[in-house]
Structure 1
Amino acid sequence: MCTLSVVIPAYNEENGIAEIMNRVLSIRSALQNVGVDELELLVVDDGSKDKTAIIAREIARNDQNVVVITHEVNKGYGGALKTGFSKAKGELIGFLDADGTYPPEYFPLLCQQALNGADLVIGSRMAGEQSQMPATRRVGNLFFAGLLTMLGWQKITDSASGMRVVKREILSQIYPLPNGLNLTPVMSTRAVHEGIRMCEVPIPYSERIGRSKLSVVRDGLLFLQSMVWTVMAYNPVRVLGLMGLAGILLAFLVVFGLITARISGVTTIGPWGVAALFAGMVSGVTGVALFALGATSNYLVSLFYKKNIRQGLFGKPIFKKPLESRFGVLGSIILFSGLILSIVSLSLGISGWEIERLWLYLLGSAMMILTGVQLILYWSLMRVLEDLSQRELLIKKDLNG
């Protein structure tokens, strides 16, 4: 016996709520054809000021499988969905918006994928079916799908789709979820990093009934912030490491430019050269710090979860030993090289060399010393965290002989 509970969050949707409810109720026979025996419909009226709740209750009077839940105050899109999830009785829980943009007729296809093994099935508006999505929102959805693909190292075409089917048993893995419109991208991000079996089914997308409640700029920034912080809770080095590598790359480009200029016979640099040198040195030191912080934070995440959760900068190891395990040696080499360069430069200055010939070497040595010290400090911290993560295992080993 398998039941699908469909949750519809509704806020001031009196013009479209009846149509979407009737469309959901009309798919019973199609659901039975794919192995879903019962359909439950839950409408969560999220503090509406219009007749949304009245219209929904009229339909519920004629169908015992329709439940209307009312929030006295507006809790937000995510808050309404979570209320529906908590009241749903089905093994499969689906949801879609009340504005008629998503096609409930595709729920049988989504349920079929869930019954075939997927834990989370997303109706993708970006996977090829006909779509009436506004251009600005299409660009935004492409960006967020690409961002999650890059940060999660798994191909996703629609990270923010509002039509999904999820197995009740995996809700605890993808919680907590926010109360706002950012529930769907956070759900996708958590599912990717929790190793949830996901798949996408192409669906058409229609023009909504009534006025949209989504703000492209405000909610777009909220989506971005939510996704990045969610990734940071699982795999910090994916975010911080990529930022750090970008800074290190910029520093190398500046150094390459200076070496090329010196080989070409240029012995002085103008204002733009000074600006480039400043940017390169700042980005280099900052890049190393961000990369090392990301690697160290991964140890903290492992300590918290007591296991690795899809960790790594590129999704799989590049070196036999983790790069961060070499931070101590690498930092010592850079620190020692910086000290030698500074001693030589200062000695030449004391012996009469002009500062115009030495300032760049002194600046470079200072950067090397700072970078080396940072790497050694982060390596020391990671050693402590690694020892703490192994503490319970070592205690059990010693006690058991």
Structure 2
Amino acid sequence: MTTLSVVIPAYNEEDGIAAIVERVLAIEPELPKYGVDALECIVVDDGSRDRTAEIVRRYVPRVRLIQQPNKGYGGALKTGFQAASGELLGFLDADSTYPPEYFPQMCRVALDGADLVIGSRMAGATSEMPLVRRIGNFIFANLLSLVAGVRISDSASGQRVIRREVLPILYPLPDTLDFTPAMSTRALHENLRMVEVPIPYKERSGRSKLSVVRDGLRFFKSIVWTALTYNPVRIFGGIGALLLLLSMLVMVLAFGLQAFGIDSVVSFPRLFGALVLAVAGVTLYTTGTSFSYIVALFHKRPIRQGMFGPRGNGRKIEKHYWWLGILAVLLGVALYVAAVAFDLTNPALQVSWFAPVVSALMVLTGVQLVSAWSLARVLAELSAREGLAARDLTGNSVSDVAANAESVRTAAVS
């Protein structure tokens, strides 16, 4: 027997709570057609100071009412999930902006194998979302698609259906309004099957509790910080790659202006700025790869591919750090020796500082690369240790854990 438990978080919703409760209860006859046998409706009154709880009591026992001090949107949902008995957990807002009539369809998708079904307000259905929030949702959806490597259209939708057994994988989640983008980010990085179902969206009457600036910044931080706990190289690597691109653009600008006669000589300040950007880019990328091995050690799974190639496949640039680092050090030393030999460090020259500075930056970059390679190798060995020890003790073929660990080690040292 399959039960859908619908959780409705409510905070000062006396004007709309009755309408949404009645609409949720009205879907019960439709659910068996989609493979769901029973409906459980739970309203979590999150410290309301109006008549919300009083109105909900009229629907008891068809509706379960839970009252608690104000814990926030996410806190109310988690309370509802703890009390729910259904194999499928659904939720939506109390202001009738989301259509509970789409729950049967979403349940069918979940029963067909999806772990998380999201009612997408941005996937083509009629939407009354204000332009500012539509732009914000577009930005956050694309940010999540970028950091997770999977296309998603609505990262913050407040209508979802979750299979109960994946809830421990999704936790921990915040108590605040960024509950939904954090859930989306974690689900994608945990390789859960997430499916979007287009739904219509109706703007609430009255003032929204969502602050575009404050909650927008909270959503941004939630997506980025959650992604960092799974795939740091995608964040650091993206910023690092951007800095390297800027470095090349500044370099092209410096030589281009001289080639077209706009500057009589190549601008050394521009060249120096380009070098600093390049060093910063390399530093950020190597930091990201090092963090990725630490994350892999914590999660006990193979590391994720960085900015290039599919996740878990392809060649990883970090295994080349050692020779790239040594090459950078040798080139830096050679540059300084050549500068001294050709008297380019003569204090009488206007740019006598340039060659030593470039040499120092190259040496430091080389040291950074070799250090990052060494750290990746050590962390890879630690990741492989438990599985390989189990193989040696049992004498059997390598277990799944050992195989995963071995793939981590091989990625760093081969």
TM-score normalised by the chain length of structure 2: 0.90
Give the aligned partner of residue 102 of structure 1: 98
Give the aligned partner of residue 66 of structure 1: 63
Give the aligned partner of residue 231 of structure 1: 227
Give 1:267 shift: 5.1
User: Structure 2: any 5+ residue segments left out of the alignment?
Assistant: 396-414
Give the aligned partner of residue 147 of structure 1: 143
Give 1:319 shift: 8.6
Give the aligned partner of residue 128 of structure 1: 124
For 1:223 and 1:327, how far apart are their aligned partners in 2? 35
Give 1:98 shift: 0.2
For 1:318 and 1:109, how far apart are their aligned partners in 2? 33
* Partners of 1:160 and 1:184 within 8 A in 2: yes
Give the aligned partner of residue 172 of structure 2: 176
* Partners of 1:238 and 1:314 within 8 A in 2: no
* Partners of 1:79 and 1:180 within 8 A in 2: yes
Q: Partner letter of residue 166 of structure 2? A: I
Give the aligned partner of residue 200 of structure 1: 196
Give the aligned partner of residue 297 of structure 2: 303
Give 1:364 shift: 2.0
* Partners of 1:3 and 1:40 within 8 A in 2: yes
* Partners of 1:193 and 1:309 within 8 A in 2: no
Give 1:360 shift: 3.0
Give 1:361 shift: 2.7
From 219, 222, 225, give the equivalent of 2:215. 219
Q: CA RMSD of the aligned region, Å?
A: 2.0
Q: Secondary structure at the match of 2:343?
A: helix
In structure 2, relative to structure 1, the CA distance for the partners of 1:89 and 1:397 (3 Å cut) is closer
Structure with the larger RCO, 1 or 2 (CA within 8 Å, 6+ apart):
1
User: Structure 1: any 5+ residue segments left out of the alignment?
Assistant: none
From 167, 184, 188, give the equivalent of 1:188. 184
Instruction: After the TM superposition, list the runs of 4 or more consecutive aligned residues in structure 1 that deviate by more than 6 angstroms.
Output: none
For 1:17 and 1:351, how far apart are their aligned partners in 2? 77
Q: Partner letter of residue 40 of structure 1? A: E
* Partners of 2:305 and 2:316 within 8 A in 1: no
Give 1:345 shift: 0.8
Q: Partner letter of residue 162 of structure 1? A: G
Give the aligned partner of residue 37 of structure 2: 37
* Partners of 2:43 and 2:65 within 8 A in 1: yes
Equivalences for residues 48-67 of structure 1 within 5 A: 48-60=48-60, 64-67=61-64
Q: Partner letter of residue 385 of structure 2? A: R
Bigger mean CA offset, 199-208 vs 6-15: 199-208
Q: Partner letter of residue 68 of structure 1? A: L
1:215-274 deviation per Cα after TM superposition (whole angstroms, max 9, x unaligned): 00000000000100000000000000000011111112223333445556755456xx62
Equivalences for residues 270-285 of structure 1 within 5 A: 274=269, 276-285=270-279
In structure 2, relative to structure 1, the CA distance for the partners of 1:278 and 1:316 (3 Å cut) is same
Give the aligned partner of residue 71 of structure 2: 75
Q: Partner letter of residue 159 of structure 1? A: S
Q: Secondary structure at the match of 2:12?
A: coil
* Partners of 2:346 and 2:352 within 8 A in 1: no
Bigger mean CA offset, 349-358 vs 230-239: 349-358
Give the aligned partner of residue 5 of structure 2: 5
Give the aligned partner of residue 345 of structure 1: 339
* Partners of 1:39 and 1:65 within 8 A in 2: no
Give the aligned partner of residue 19 of structure 1: 19
